[in-house]
Amino acid sequence: MRTFLLIAVLVTAATQAAATTLERVKKTGQFTIAYRADAKPYSYQTDDGQPAGYIVELCREVADAVRKAVGVPVKVSYIIVPGDQRFAAVREGHADILCDPSTVTLERRKLVDFSMPTFLDGASVMSRETTPVNRFEDLRGKRVGVLKGTTTERVLRTSLAALGIKAEITTVRDHREGVGLLTSDKIDAYFGDRAILAAFLGQEPLPGFQVAQQYFSIETYALAIPHDDSAFRLLVDGTLARLYRTGKIRTLLTKTLGRLKKDQLLDALFVIHALPEK
């Protein structure tokens, strides 16, 4: 009897693990979106506790497509994930999709799958106007903050090492902590995605601080989804392709990021991935 029960448990677990995202959503009526609280303008929590941002809006479009695909009422839930646990949330089944500015890398593709690209940005640095940082060499001997477990941290460490520049690096769990360390004079500069740093300058009174115009890296963002789920990935990519093809992506960009300057690389990204239905 014990052997029979053990086999039954193992078979049930294997069946659940093998179920695709759409099959499970149809059965449970639940679709879970993971997002970040501190990655404005891409993925953040508003003052009244609501998820918001450009990439969150993309995932709302995906959620609508999921509802249509499964043909049953679906409740969409949101969970906040810190930067260093975001991929685990998808890998371990706590969320169906990760909606934040995640850069696609080959190493990360061992953990999760990725949709087609959603945006292009890059690393930059926030510093005091009296001691501006505009290049890696300006970080020599400085105290530098960076979000833990990100490609931005990797770019910072490898670039400083390659240039032979010594700096004291402090890792943080979210951007608010990093900017707080900078404004309280516990670090000299904070390294992060440029649009996120610019958003902090725009939303909070930070006189005497600046964000460098220079990009220290180029990052390609995409939505993280579970491995080995071709049906769900096709739905996600199909949703993004329709947004790109119809031009609705521009409406979402203006709604969440404001009117952006003409960017040929971003335009090319949308054109290349505006795949036809047939």
CATH code: domain of residue 130: 3.40.190.10
Same domain, 116 and 128: no
Same domain, 108 and 157: no
Structural domain that includes position 103: 20-121+220-272
Q: What is the pTM of this model?
A: 0.81
Domain count, the chain: 2
> What is residue 57's DSSP assignment?
H
Is 1 a member of any domain? no
Same domain, 182 and 203: yes
Same domain, 264 and 180: no
Same domain, 245 and 262: yes
Is 177 a member of any domain? yes
Same domain, 145 and 224: no
Same domain, 110 and 192: no
Is 13 a member of any domain? no
- pLDDT at residue 12 tops 90: no
Q: Measure Cα distances from 71 to 15, 22, 25, 31, 91 in Å.
A: 22, 10, 10, 13, 26
Number of H helices and E strands in the chain, helices first, is 10, 13
Is 59 a member of any domain? yes
Q: In the chain, which ranges are continuous DSSP H helix?
A: 2-18, 21-28, 54-70, 86-91, 151-163, 175-183, 194-203, 230-246, 248-257, 264-272
Is 15 a member of any domain? no
Same domain, 206 and 224: no
Is 53 a member of any domain? yes
- pLDDT at residue 108 tops 70: yes
Lowest mean pLDDT among 16-25, 53-62, 80-89, 230-239: 16-25
For 159, list phi and psi in degrees, rounded to 5. Answer: -70, -45
Segment 79-107 shows an average pLDDT of: 95
CA angle 143, 154, 46 (to 5 degrees): 80
Half-sphere exposure of 235 (CA within 13 A, CB side): 23
- pLDDT at residue 78 tops 50: yes
Same domain, 185 and 51: no
Give the Cα separation of 113 and 234 in Å (integer). 12
Lowest mean pLDDT among 191-195, 231-235, 258-262: 258-262
- pLDDT, tens only, 145-155: 999 989 999 99
Segment 224-248 shows an average pLDDT of: 97
Same domain, 160 and 130: yes
User: pLDDT category, 18, cuts 50, 70, 90?
Assistant: low
**Residue predicted with more confidence, 50 or 9:** 50
Same domain, 117 and 224: yes
Residue 68, pLDDT score: 97
User: pLDDT category, 203, cuts 50, 70, 90?
Assistant: confident
